[in-house]
Chain A
Amino acid sequence: NAGVTQTPKFQVLKTGQSMTLQCAQDMNHNSMYWYRQDPGMGLRLIYYSASEGTTDKGEVPNGYNVSRLNKREFSLRLESAAPSQTSVYFCASRAGGGAGELFFGEGSRLTVL
């Protein structure tokens, strides 16, 4: 099984450009998450989706939108990228029901010039 797959792995944007990070999981998990990790820092929760059809804000949602397309896929969109959004973005999934381990993808490194 692939687990959690993120695309693209690397992306360079100019300020003001838009882009979408894609995440897909093949573990039949209900909950999915997007985090960002700045250099030398911990992971901060951007948005999460407890189940298909629901999304909620995390710690740092400003400047981002999300879509839970179906049970497998959860995308993160930057409408107008800013240099402050330069970071490594991680997607994760969990079986759900209020308990269970998080499983992470390998990350997407985004640079905004």
Chain B
Amino acid sequence: GIQVEQSPPDLILQEGANSTLRCNFSDSVNNLQWFHQNPWGQLINLFYIPSGTKQNGRLSATTVATERYSLLYISSSQTTDSGVYFCAAASTSGTYKYIFGTGTRLKVLA
């Protein structure tokens, strides 16, 4: 099945800094999604992005499907951005099996 890897595993930033989180996947995908898990454990949908680029406020994401990776950019980080960021992907051969990466734990310091 598809393997999903994320880097870095941990990240500490000062408020106002920018960051890039990476998600690599082992197979061709037709589904890719980024989530933020807040400190209360809720999973918040950030982007559904099997290919291309999307932006939502200070966050943007790019998926280069042919090279099997996706990037999440956080600009001007705020303390409320703290939490764990997950990507999840489903391959073209296993469309319904949505597999998660191990996450990037982000802490933004005031």
Seen from chain A, the residues whose Cβ lies within 8 Å of a Cβ on chain B are: 31, 33, 35, 41-45, 48, 50, 56, 58-59, 88, 90, 92, 94, 98-104, 106-107
Contact = CB atoms under 8 A, between A and B. Distances in A.
A45 B99 contact: yes
Interface string B15-55: 00000000000000011010100000111010010100000
Contact of A45 (B98, B101, B102): B98
A55 to B, nearest CB: 11
Interface residues of B, number: 22
Given A101-B33, A101-B45, A106-B42, A35 B100 contact: yes
Given A43-B86, A106-B42, A59 B96 contact: no
Contacts of A90: 43
B97 interface: yes
Given A98-B30, A101-B33, A45 B97 contact: yes
Nearest to B99: A45
Contacts of B72: none
17 contacts: A31-B96, A41-B102, A42-B100, A42-B101, A43-B100, A45-B100, A48-B97, A50-B96, A56-B97, A58-B97, A98-B30, A99-B30, A100-B48, A101-B33, A101-B45, A102-B45, A104-B43
B30 A42 contact: no
B13 to A, nearest CB: 20
Most buried by A among B35, B96, B99, B103: B96
Contacts of A44: 100
B41 A88 contact: yes
Given A31-B96, A48-B97, A102 B33 contact: yes
B45 A42 contact: no
A42 B103 contact: yes
Contacts of A50: 96
B99 A59 contact: yes
A55 B25 CA distance: 25
A9 to B, nearest CB: 11
